[in-house]
Amino acid sequence: MKSTIRTPLLLLSLYLFACESIDTLNQNNPARDNVIASGKDLQPVLDGGYETWWNAVHGEVPVMALSVAADAYGLGWDDFGARRMGSEPREGYTNRASEEPGYKEIAEGPWYGCLSAASSANDVLAALRDGITIDDGGGQDQSVRAAAHFLRGASWGYLGLIFDQALLVDENTDLEQMVPFSDYPEVIGAAVEELDEAISLAEAAGDDFIHTSFNGLTLDAEQFVQLCHSYAARFLAQWPRTPEENEMVSWQAVLQHAERGLSYDFAPLADGRYWKSYQQYAFAETGKGPFWARADQRLVAAMDPGQPARYPEVEALGEAPLASPMAQSADKRLQTDFVFAAAQAFPASHGEWHFSHYLHNRNISQPGFAGDGATFGPMPVFLAADNALLHAEALLELGRTAEAVELINQGPRSSRGQLPGLAPGASPASAREAIMYERAIELLSTAPMSLWFDRRRTGPRLPHDMVDALGGLQTGTPAQLPVPESELKVHGLPPYSFGGEKGPDGVERVY
């Protein structure tokens, strides 16, 4: 935890690590004046906030568990809470501070991490407002100000994607008062406003702008603005929890942002200490051995429709074993991006639905695409192809199917998958299926939790034993996470959760 965390709500996070009393921590409210004393303090505080945000959103917790819940991966171990979140039939998330660390951190990690990162942004913006400066309002001050707005926007954006409600605290919030919760649509809206402000500041700074808070990357104004637009498009497109909410998306806003989004793959570098990602457990043969995540059988079936979407339970139910373990596909990415494994890595007693004969790793065919996710190399988390798919989906939803088809055909579906292009007169349904296929296969092991966000919004819930390749979440899968019990206690509220038998759609609060 960084020394820059100061707000009462965020001081609670220290309780989680230092086991101090909540009551004592909430009495502490040091002034922000004590955080940043001079201009030379601005960048270190900002950099610390970026590290905190990165680990809150891209760490093995919560990404592995929520990706298993989305049937992106199979992982039959208890690590990271993945096996419990991948139980079949699905169980609800147990929102109790007394749970074992790897499981309760599924909610606590992104909650306190994103709030802490936003607090760092608040400290920087408050200091700039109060006259702390690097170059008297010049390019360095403007770069720091824009970076702080991005950090706050990205933090709020993921709070809005993951949780049903969140706390919106800025540099002008009265920290002596209990801050009310805001529902996730409001949180997403606030996040996009922050990104819009970051864009305006960076564009105004022009050639004087520089961004260095992502490890190993130096972004100029154009690159930074593209990144802001892409994150705005992501938040605006992926916030819905149901297909009904997906119809409420402002696709015109998604389009406007995606049109100016990433033309490069955004991939900070691992450093072996503070900058690392879940990818070390998702990619095969990256130094962690063969016993981590497998590509879920639903994705294997997406590439080879002759495969079942659910691995047979031979030992548990006496079902017939998988007839052809080695899949066949017209999509060349089955060969270039996936590694076949004849043997299984997980005990059958942990659930044969976790089984798969395929591991994922684009490094094998694309050396340098990603490092090991832990100690060296790039960690790609927002591909230019992801932005292009958001662009195509927005065009499709706005009734511009032919343009969407053209964009799909220009992408990795053709260049990497070598699949035949969609016909110019392809139906909206065919274009939508192609987009969802690309989002599942091309973006695998890049955008954190992306398939969880996509399955919940694009298809109805499916019984665990009747899943298909590209459909919705399994019935009972949490489609969002609750505010952690530790935080709710501070507000005098009872714990609640989502999912399980009492919450089949994953959106109903279960007490």
CA distances from 326 to 17, 250, 283 (A): 46, 42, 19
Tokens at 120, concatenated: 């760092």
Tally the domains of the chain: 3
Asked whether residue 430 is domain-assigned, the answer is: yes
Asked if residue 344 has pLDDT above 50, the reply is yes
Q: Which helix or strand (DSSP H or E) is residue 61 part of?
A: helix 60-69
Residues 193 and 248 in one domain: yes
Asked whether residue 505 is domain-assigned, the answer is: no
Domain of residue 198, CATH code: 1.25.40.390
pLDDT of residue 286: 52
DSSP string covering 268-324, please?
PBP-SSS---THHHHBSSSSS-TTS-EE-HHHHHHH-TTS-SS---HHHH-PPPPS-
Query: Are residues 404 and 395 in contact, defined by beta-carbon separation less than 8 angstroms?
Result: yes
Region of residue 385 (phi > 0: left; psi between -120 and 50: alpha; otherwise: beta): alpha
Q: How confident is the model at residue 14 (pLDDT cuts 50, 70, 90)?
A: very low
Amino acid at 269: L
Measured CA to CA, the distance from residue 169 to residue 288 in angstroms comes to 39
Residues 344 and 426 in one domain: no
Asked whether residue 470 is domain-assigned, the answer is: no
Residues 289 and 251 in one domain: no
pLDDT of residue 293: 94
Q: How confident is the model at residue 20 (pLDDT cuts 50, 70, 90)?
A: very low
Asked if residue 147 has pLDDT above 50, the reply is yes
Q: Which helix or strand (DSSP H or E) is residue 151 part of?
A: helix 139-162
- Helices 8-18 and 101-129 sit at what angle, rounded to 10 degrees? 140
Residues 134 and 17 in one domain: yes
Asked whether residue 499 is domain-assigned, the answer is: no
Residues 322 and 426 in one domain: no
> In sequence order, what are the residues at sequence separation of 6 or more whose Cβ sits closer than 8 angstroms to the Cβ of residue 322?
307, 308, 311, 312, 357
Q: How many CB atoms lie within 10 A of CB 377?
A: 19
Asked whether residue 327 is domain-assigned, the answer is: yes
Domain that holds residue 398: 384-442
Asked if residue 11 has pLDDT above 50, the reply is no
Residues 25 and 57 in one domain: yes
> In sequence order, what are the residues at sequence separation of 6 or more whose Cβ sits closer than 8 angstroms to the Cβ of residue 401?
395, 426, 427, 428, 431
Question: Tokens 């749970």 label which residue?
Answer: 99
The per-residue pLDDT of the chain, averaged, comes to 92
Q: pTM for this one?
A: 0.94
Residues 189 and 325 in one domain: no
Q: What is the arithmetic mean of pLDDT over 173-182? A: 93
Asked whether residue 434 is domain-assigned, the answer is: yes
Secondary-structure breakdown of the chain: helix, strand, coil percentages, each rounded to the nearest 5: 50, 5, 45
Residues 257 and 289 in one domain: no
Residues 427 and 310 in one domain: no
Asked whether residue 355 is domain-assigned, the answer is: yes
Q: How confident is the model at residue 285 (pLDDT cuts 50, 70, 90)?
A: low
Asked whether residue 269 is domain-assigned, the answer is: yes
User: Tens digit of pLDDT for each residue in 308-339?
Assistant: 999 999 999 999 999 999 999 999 999 999 99
Question: Tokens 């079949």 label which residue?
Answer: 88
Q: How confident is the model at residue 408 (pLDDT cuts 50, 70, 90)?
A: very high
Residues 258 and 403 in one domain: no
Residues 241 and 343 in one domain: no
Measured CA to CA, the distance from residue 333 to residue 318 in angstroms comes to 33
DSSP string covering 23-55, please?
HHHHT----GGGT--SGGGHHHHHHHHHHHHHH
Q: What is the arithmetic mean of pLDDT over 250-271? A: 98
Measured CA to CA, the distance from residue 396 to residue 394 in angstroms comes to 5
Query: Are residues 469 and 306 in contact, defined by beta-carbon separation less than 8 angstroms?
Result: no
Asked if residue 407 has pLDDT above 60, the reply is yes
Name the DSSP class of 475: T
Asked if residue 289 has pLDDT above 80, the reply is no
Question: Tokens 């939790």 label which residue?
Answer: 449
Residues 181 and 246 in one domain: yes
